[in-house]
Structure 1
């Protein structure tokens, strides 16, 4: 099991360069393709303004403005991609329907990489982040300063399906880690979450994981972040929790707190 395609959605903005550099770092560790995918605002979003068979001046101006902005953004995203010193890379600019095409690209990628702004609901890629995590349920890496492959990785474990999915999908990452620490609070829930079971799962895949039992009081996120910092973790693997409402993905409190933190980098799966 390995990763062969790392996808980086691009906005044509200032954050693209850092995301691509982080994506190249991850891709290089697996000799994988780095796929830069320019994700512009969709011109179809203004179509409801238009009457059937008629395009007024305001609508036409809005369309032209979106097209011009998309062209400028694409050029900047291409420049950012060209500046990345990584050989196995590709670039694609999405067209209408942008969200459907983004979903298709995500389905054929092993991991999707973002910086921490979209996860906080900021910037032009915030909707793309929610679509990838919530709708497509693709694993994502939230790249933050200090991201490395091969260092210390912590795995948040509560025995649930989200945590289980994240642990399984992160296996290639964990196989390259210098040290893996399972973080769990077994007395905080009635769910059967014996960390030894996860240790056995990892061991069968060549991963020697330690276990740290967290206090069973207080909110989970601060405990996880503190334990990850204490372990010197560059990455925290966790399940993403939340529920859909009116086509908007509302993250649970623990996930929101992890997304709001400054470190470490996150590997999330819903």
Structure 2
């Protein structure tokens, strides 16, 4: 298995350089293209708020300000892209309707790369992160620190749909990893599962994986983070939003706890 296109949504902000650098680190071992996709605030989103017959002085000024901000942001995003020395790269600037364009670009990309702030709900791309993970159900890499492709990788698995999907989609990464460790916390899960099943799935595809059974706990996230750190994993593969998002928002959830941590880099899929 391999990847051919790694996409990094760009906002024209300071986080663009981080996202692009991470996208290059992910793409290079596969010879994949890095696509920087400028994702501005959409003028269409404010139209319903203005209502019919909105073309008064204040409203027109507001629209012009949004257009000017989008143009300035695109210039900064292009500048960030110009510093990418990796040869296989492309720049895409989305126009109204922005969210529809972002969805279309993501569906033709293998992995979407975000920085840690976007994943924590901060900055202009926070909504884009939610859209990619939860609505489009695209595999997402949350880049944190100087991760590398080819080092140890930990895979969090509980037998559920989200975790199993992430475990499958991460195979190109796992095939290049120096060590793969399946992290399982049976006593922290409401479902019954056997981690040797995933181990056998990987073995059939040429990936040798170890199993680490984590101790009893009411919250799996601290266990997963500790275990990933213990094996020196630079990337943790995990399912995202295993419960309804409203429930995750109210009660926290493993996904929210993983996103709040400082390390490691996360490979997520819903």
Q: TM-score interval w.r.t. the shorter chain?
A: over 0.9
Task: Provide the secondary structure at the position in 2 that maps to 1:96.
Answer: coil
Q: TM-score, normalised by structure 2?
A: 0.96
Given that 1:174 and 1:180 are in contact with CA atoms closer than 8 Å, whether structure 2 keeps it comes out as yes
2-structure distance, mates of 1:190, 1:24? 39
Match of 1:128 in 2: 128
- For residue 99 of structure 1, report the CA deviation from its aligned partner: 0.5
> Which residues of 2 match residues 148-163 of structure 1 at below 5 A?
148-163=148-163
2-structure distance, mates of 1:243, 1:187? 21
1-structure distance, mates of 2:198, 2:170? 13
How many residue pairs get matched? 268
Match of 2:219 in 1: 219
2-structure distance, mates of 1:117, 1:124? 10
User: Is 1:10–2:16 an aligned residue pair?
Assistant: no
Given that 1:185 and 1:214 are in contact with CA atoms closer than 8 Å, whether structure 2 keeps it comes out as yes
Given that 1:240 and 1:251 are in contact with CA atoms closer than 8 Å, whether structure 2 keeps it comes out as no
Given that 2:114 and 2:143 are in contact with CA atoms closer than 8 Å, whether structure 1 keeps it comes out as yes
Unpaired segments of 5 or more residues in structure 2?
none
Given that 2:188 and 2:220 are in contact with CA atoms closer than 8 Å, whether structure 1 keeps it comes out as no
Given that 2:187 and 2:217 are in contact with CA atoms closer than 8 Å, whether structure 1 keeps it comes out as no
2-structure distance, mates of 1:53, 1:83? 44
Unpaired segments of 5 or more residues in structure 1?
none
Query: Which 4+ runs in 1 deviate beyond 2 A?
Result: 49-54, 186-192, 248-252
- For residue 146 of structure 1, report the CA deviation from its aligned partner: 2.4
Given that 1:46 and 1:59 are in contact with CA atoms closer than 8 Å, whether structure 2 keeps it comes out as no
1:18-72: CA deviation from partner (whole Å, max 9, x where unpaired): 1101101101011001000000000112211334344111111111011000101
Q: TM-score, normalised by structure 1?
A: 0.96
2-structure distance, mates of 1:33, 1:251? 38
Given that 2:142 and 2:267 are in contact with CA atoms closer than 8 Å, whether structure 1 keeps it comes out as yes
Match of 2:107 in 1: 107
| RMSD value, Cα | 1.5
- For residue 193 of structure 1, report the CA deviation from its aligned partner: 1.6
Given that 2:183 and 2:214 are in contact with CA atoms closer than 8 Å, whether structure 1 keeps it comes out as yes
- For residue 187 of structure 1, report the CA deviation from its aligned partner: 3.4
Match of 2:231 in 1: 231
- For residue 244 of structure 1, report the CA deviation from its aligned partner: 4.3
